[in-house]
Structure 1
Amino acid sequence: MLRHSKQEQQMCRKLPGVDIGYVCQQHEGRCVICDLQFDEVLPTMREVRICSDCGFGREGDERCVMCNASKPTEVAYYCQYCVALEKDRDGCPRVLNQSRHQRIATVRTR
């Protein structure tokens, strides 16, 4: 996701907590760091952990870590390559701001 417009997007990068990150249907099956498409979850992949500030408190109030859309469908994962390169230890991967193109795409899908 961030490989397309690294200058425009900022990630939280705080110390991750116990909250699990979720993604919407649009970002389902993609690594949150490198945007790699995967078909099935492998044992070498890791669930995304987000910080307590990005956790949104109550269960059922989760949002997509990539686009902040409500009602995410799947648990977010790091791909096996990002786990091998230890990019899963860089901090909370939640995107704090969106690029102009992402906002336009979100409006079109609604």
Structure 2
Amino acid sequence: MFTAHVVVTVLAAAWVAFSAVSVFARAAWVVEPLAEYGVPQALWPWLGAAKTAGALGLVAGLFVPAIGLAAGIGLVVYFTGAVATVLRARSYKHVPFPLLYLAPVVVAMALA
């Protein structure tokens, strides 16, 4: 079970880190929906920083479980907020995207 936890946690952290890099790089497929949802451009670097901290925290949690738990909780709150933002913008076709990032984080926490 420990091996599964490590693999899922590393993959979840990599997936969240990819999302953070996409925000920092201002990939069109990320920032265009953010603008469409009404998320102010001034917040985008903070969103990327939150994802980066969460990804690093998940990996650190393999060595210090309390850090991983805190990072996991933070990411769950972050991506739940992302789902709420998408729903508030009535962009229902985009709801699965934040869920694709939320799911591996939840699984990693469940395996911890």
TM bracket (short chain): under 0.3
More strand by share: 1
Q: Which has the larger radius of gyration?
A: 2
More helix by share: 2
Q: Which TM-score applies when normalising by structure 2?
A: 0.23
Q: Which TM-score applies when normalising by structure 1?
A: 0.24
